[in-house]
Each structure stands twice: as structure tokens, then as C-alpha cells.
Structure 1
Amino acid sequence: MRHFTLVLLMAVTMLAGPALAQPAPPKLSYAGKTVLVTGSTDGLGRELALALAADGAHVIVHGRNAERGKAVVAEITRGGTGSARFYAADFSSLQAVRDFADAVARDYLRLDLLVNNAGVAYTGDQPRRTSQDGHELQFAVNYLAGWVLVNRLRPNLAAAAPARIVNVSSGSASAIDFDDVMLEKPGAHGRGYGQSKLAQVTMTVALAPAFAKDGITMIALHPATMMDTTMVRGLGVTPRASVDEGRDHVMGLITAGQLQAGAFYIDGKPADTRDPQPQDPAARARLLELSARLTGVPLAQ
């Protein structure tokens, strides 16, 4: 009888143990916290800004168009929860990005969340475009601007630790051609969007361990496929997902109780990119050197 009772107790413990040992971490609230969402006057960025404000955050709204930026701030103010302030900056200019980062760093000594969402996209049928600095435009806006922000704002994020950086990337992937990063070879510019997005993931993998030591969790993610945004409609393709779907996916990760630093998330779970370059130490090292040289912003220590 004693042996039977002991076996029964062990069986009950084994069944109940896993459920009791690993409770799900509670979701994060951004009430009273300061967050920056780039490209937040339209599309996904705008919806993220509104959602974070509804959670009680102070949102730093960013965009090129002051009228649209002020409209987002006014909508957040009318909502009566959270608050907002607009900063204008054209990310096609690296000097404008550096000035923007310095203004945010000066005005907000603590930053709890940075969402690198601003982006542009062009098809191979459209002409190659360059930034004000002469760089391929998608690489400049989608990637180099984010490099400047994560490094210039690292002290402010560390001051608010635990803090987060969310790089809004894409499942589209084109390997970085380090012999033609600016895609000047005939027809190469059609890979521009995919290359810029893979660069975001590669940067995330490369920088996440060091940032984690400062209490900053950095991830990259694919929000949704072909959301119904101004950018997607401008490509002349039929949207396959709503902006609400993308917002809900991104917000689910922003507020997740636990994230895997350096991971690339698809559908809420860490996943591999179609191209293995982010896992290549040599490629990561080349990208970090290139990024610091092109932007004039070294890797923050």
C-alpha cells in the first residue's frame, strides 16, 4: 500500500510539475513609459503609435510630414490616455537622422522602447533612387537610419532598462552584395528592398548580445505579408493582409513578457531568414564596419 501511494504521488507531481514550474511571464504595460516609433504618421507606424498611447505611453511620433504628424498627436490627445510629441525628420538624409537622434536623446534621458518602422519600397520596374548622401535609397532609409538610432540612443535605452528595440523587417530577403551594396550594376536595384531588410536582421543578430548586457532586448520581425498600406499600394500589388493584422502581431511582441534577444520573429515565433547571411560571422562583421563608415556613427560601446 505504501509503495502504491508513493507511485501515485510521483505521478501526480510529474503531471502537475511543468504547469506549475513555468508560468507564462505577464505581458508588459507601457503606461507611463516613453516610446519612439519611426514612420508613425501613416500605416503600421501610425497604428502602433495609437495602440501604445492607448496603453498609457508617451509616444514620440516621427515622420516627414508635419501636418500628418500633428494630426496623430491630436488624435492621441483626444483619446485621453497617453500623450505624444511630434518630431519631423527626413530619413533620406543621414544628417537629419543624426540630428533627430540627438534631439530625442537630449529631450528624453530615458527611452523604454524604440520601434524602427520607417521604410520605403520600390520594385525593379521603378528607377533606382538615391538618398541625399548618394546611397541607394532603400538601404539608407530602411537600414542605415536604424543603425544611427540604435547606436545614438543606446545610452537612453540603457537608462530605462529593461528596454526594447524592435526592428520592423520583412520575410523578403536578398543577400547583401558587399561588392555592390548600392546596387549600381544593371538590374541590381530590384533587390534593394530585400537587401535592406536582411541588413536589419543581420544587424539585430550582430548587436543583440552586447545590447542585452545593458538591459536592452533587440529583435527583428516580419509584421504581416503585403499589408494594405500606402507603401504597398504604391508598388501596384494587391494587399494580402490588413494593417490591423500587422499591428496586432507587432504589439503582441512589444508587450510579450519574454523575448529572445537577437531573434527574427514570424507569426510570433523565432524563425530563420530565407538567406543564411545573418548567421554568418564574416558577413555580420563586414556589415558593422560598412554601417559605421557610411553613417559616421560608430558602434556604441
Structure 2
Amino acid sequence: MAAFDLTGKTVLITGSTDGLGRALAREVLDAGATVIVHGRSPERIEATVDELDGGGAVRAYRADFASLAEVHGLADALVAADERVDVLVNNAGIGADGGRELSRDGFELHFAVNYLAGFALTQRLMAEDRVGSRIVNVSSLGQQALDFDDLQLEQGYSGIRAYCQSKLAQILYSFELTPQLAPAVTVNALHPATYMPTKMVPSPISTLEEGVEATFRLVADPALDGTTGAFFDGLRQATPDAQAADAEARRRLWAVSEELTARR
């Protein structure tokens, strides 16, 4: 894996108490950065911080991304602590197994956890000028076009479709956010690797190291300083589902997302 220097940088990785996020936290810490760990389980957070053993270079926050109130609370806590995030990695997510479930706010669970939570957190941190240089959205090659007449998949639910729709939503958001932040902050999305050995994958194909390498590159590679509004398949730039290029679909998703994540 390429060696990059992140000395003096702070990197927030959501969903960093397991799988890709936890392994990426190790890599980022070893590169000299301060790591902000996020998870929903106090026990997993404590175990992750102990494992990283970064002294003052590791801080941790808890929030369940199935609750927008907790996402907003996480943002509040980061702002109150005067955290300055050089790189934000929206990695937290759930897999495609199981039947249709709802978040605490009544939204389809994949859409809520994999997409809306990251949207709400990113928007708040950007509004507070808390993100310094890069946003990395951990998406997937598993993508299906969003049905704006049934975003919550109340008709003909499929776990695979729910997952793939939420992952494409991340990419639409990335592409729509890009021109608003350029050139100061870059925004890219990626498929880290195919079926890595995480708790969501019973039969791995790729290694966790492959996924970490691809994600770490978007976090830290100085050669990508000017690269923004792109989607990567591992280490290669790729073309996502055609809906990502639909400006009207991107604007429509943004408007819906603002409405759904607004504090009431």
C-alpha cells in the first residue's frame, strides 16, 4: 500500500468500529493523522479506540445513524468540541439482508442509514465550515436508479434494491455537491472493493486490504488534490449508473433530502 503523509490532518470516519472503517482508521492513524472514530455501540467504540492506541490522536463520538436526531446530535457535538475535519469519510452503512425496516424517523432503513444520515452530517459540517479539504463517500457498484414516486420502497420491496438505491443516492449527492465546494473541498465517491470480508458479506471475493487501499488513496493521495466529482471502482475512475448524470434527478434528490433531514 502506498505511503502517504497525513501529519497534522484530522480525519472523521463514520462507521469506523468495524470492517472497512476500522481498518481505514488504522491506516490513517499510521499516516500521522488524528482520527475521529464514530460508531453506535459504546462497547465497540471503546474496543476500537483501545486497539488503535493513538493516545491524543484518537477521539470518538457515538451516534446511531438510524436516528436523524442522533445524527444532528453528532454534528452538534463536533461543532461544540470545535472539531476541524480535514477529511470526512462517509462510510457508515448497512447491507442488503432482511425485510423492509424503518428508521426511527419512519424512513426506509437503507435510505436512512446509508444515505440520509451522511447527507445530514455533511451538510451541517459544511454549513459550519468544519470540513477542510476532502469528502469521500463510500458507495458501491451495486446501483439502481431511484424511483422518486416510491423512494421509501413501500411497493414491491427488495433488500437488494433498497441497498442499491441508497448507494446510488450517495453518488448523486456527491456529484451535486461538487460544484458548490470546488475548488476548496473535493468530493468523490467510490466502490472500495467487491464483497470484502466484513460482517455484511458471507462469501468474500476481495480482500479488506484492497478496499482500504482504494479508500485511503482518496483520503490521502496528494496526486488527487484536484480530482473532484468523480466515481471510482477501486483504484480506477469509473462511470456510475446513468441517473448520476441526470441533473434534474440530482436536484430532485437534494430537495427531498433537505426536506426529510430538516430539524423539526
TM-score (norm 2): 0.93
Matched residue, 1:270: 237
Write the distance in 1 (CA, Å) between the matches of 2:220 and 2:14: 18
What does the per-residue CA deviation read over 1:218-262, in whole Å, with 9 as the maximum and x for residues that have no partner?
1000100010000123xxxx1111211111111122122133211
Matched residue, 2:191: 222
Matched residue, 1:23: none
Q: Is the 8 A contact 1:73 1:83 kept in 2?
A: no
Aligned residues: 260
Instruction: Tell whether 2:173 aligns with 1:240.
Output: no
The match for 2:252 among 286, 292, 298 is 286
Write the distance in 2 (CA, Å) between the matches of 1:149 and 1:187: 27
Map residues 20-99 of structure 1 onto 2, 5 A cutoff: 29-77=5-53, 83-99=57-73
Write the distance in 1 (CA, Å) between the matches of 2:220 and 2:142: 25
Q: Is the 8 A contact 1:76 1:83 kept in 2?
A: no
Write the distance in 2 (CA, Å) between the matches of 1:159 and 1:219: 18
Deviation at 1:144, TM superposition (A): 0.3
Deviation at 1:36, TM superposition (A): 0.4
Change over 3 Å in CA distance of 1:75–1:188 after alignment to 2: closer
SS in 2 for 1:244: helix
Change over 3 Å in CA distance of 1:52–1:138 after alignment to 2: same
Matched residue, 2:171: 201
Unpaired runs of 5+ residues, structure 2, are: none
Write the distance in 1 (CA, Å) between the matches of 2:74 and 2:9: 20
Write the distance in 1 (CA, Å) between the matches of 2:130 and 2:71: 21
SS in 2 for 1:177: coil
Change over 3 Å in CA distance of 1:155–1:181 after alignment to 2: closer
Structure number with greater Rg is 1
Instruction: Tell whether 2:231 aligns with 1:255.
Output: no
Deviation at 1:139, TM superposition (A): 0.4
Q: Is the 8 A contact 2:4 2:31 kept in 1?
A: no
Deviation at 1:37, TM superposition (A): 0.3
Equivalent position amino acid for 1:267 in 2: G
Moved more, 41-50 or 264-273: 264-273
Please give the root-mean-square deviation of Cα atoms over the aligned residues, in Å. 1.9
What does the per-residue CA deviation read over 1:127-181, in whole Å, with 9 as the maximum and x for residues that have no partner?
111100110000000000110111111155x4664x1000000001110000000
Equivalent position amino acid for 2:195 in 1: M
Write the distance in 2 (CA, Å) between the matches of 1:159 and 1:116: 15
Deviation at 1:108, TM superposition (A): 3.1
SS in 1 for 2:201: helix
Write the distance in 1 (CA, Å) between the matches of 2:88 and 2:228: 14
Unpaired runs of 5+ residues, structure 1, are: 1-25
Matched residue, 1:152: 124
Moved more, 99-108 or 145-154: 99-108
What does the per-residue CA deviation read over 1:65-102, in whole Å, with 9 as the maximum and x for residues that have no partner?
1111111112222x67x711111100000110011011
Equivalent position amino acid for 2:115 in 1: Y
Map residues 92-131 of structure 1 onto 2, 5 A cutoff: 92-123=66-97, 126-131=98-103
Equivalent position amino acid for 2:60 in 1: F
Q: Is the 8 A contact 1:183 1:189 kept in 2?
A: no
Deviation at 1:122, TM superposition (A): 2.1
> Which runs of at least 4 in structure 1 moved beyond 4 Å after TM superposition?
none
Change over 3 Å in CA distance of 1:74–1:198 after alignment to 2: same
